[in-house]
Amino acid sequence: MIGLLGQLFFTFFFIGLFNFGGGGAMLSLIQGQVVTAHSWITQEMFTDIVAISQTTPGPIGINCATYVGYEVMNSAGFGPWAGVLGSVLASFAVVLPSFLVFYLIIRTFYKVHETLTYKDTMLALRPAVAGLIGAACLLLMFRTEWAGLRPQLSLIRESFPDWTSWVIFAAALALGLSKKAGPIAIILGAGVVGLLIY
């Protein structure tokens, strides 16, 4: 149990340390570690965890870490109390690098925030953040299997099981692009519609 808790801590510490751009950008890192690298959960379960994380209060990356921590420890046969411990540990590990980095930044920020190097770096990070969020979207929509060097893409049926889910997705996208509703209202609305239909 201690070994698995240690793996969980260092995995989510790594995710928190190398994440830029918030929770949406963090999803591809989490998926890469917990689904691909460690095989702790399936892609379908990860999709469900992301959906739950988006509809519950709080940052999606931390919510995801909480659910994954619980699932990993509980499904390993250690029981629900170990699952709670896994949740707390994974959540703590994913935010710890931010606290450490923030502490260092706050000590040096006022010395560098007006320099051209700092401004250029922040400007250069914007496309990378957009790319990470886009990658997270694709990972939740498509399963990738490699045939040599060629990827074989297939739609994850659990994410879009029928035409109704595509209608909900299209409506949420249209509302978001038109700016007629905020992200919270769209997430809550889609969650309620999904709950009523499914």
Domain encompassing residue 91? 2-151
Do 48 and 125 belong together in one domain? Answer: yes
Using the predicted structure, report yes or no on whether residue 175 has a pLDDT greater than 80.
Answer: yes
Give residue 21's pLDDT: 66
Do 94 and 174 belong together in one domain? Answer: no
Q: What is the DSSP string of 46-99?
A: HHHHHHHHHHSSS-HHHHHHHHHHHHHHIIIII-HHHHHHHHHHHHHHHHHHHH
Q: What share of the chain in percent tops pLDDT 90?
A: 15
Do 23 and 100 belong together in one domain? Answer: yes
Using the predicted structure, report yes or no on whether residue 155 has a pLDDT greater than 80.
Answer: no
Do 146 and 168 belong together in one domain? Answer: no
Using the predicted structure, report yes or no on whether residue 159 has a pLDDT greater than 80.
Answer: no
Do 145 and 175 belong together in one domain? Answer: no
Q: Spell out the residues 6+ positions from residue 50 whose beta carbon is closer than 8 angstroms to its own.
A: 27, 60, 64, 140
Q: Number of folded domains in the chain?
A: 2
Give residue 18's pLDDT: 82
Do 123 and 59 belong together in one domain? Answer: yes
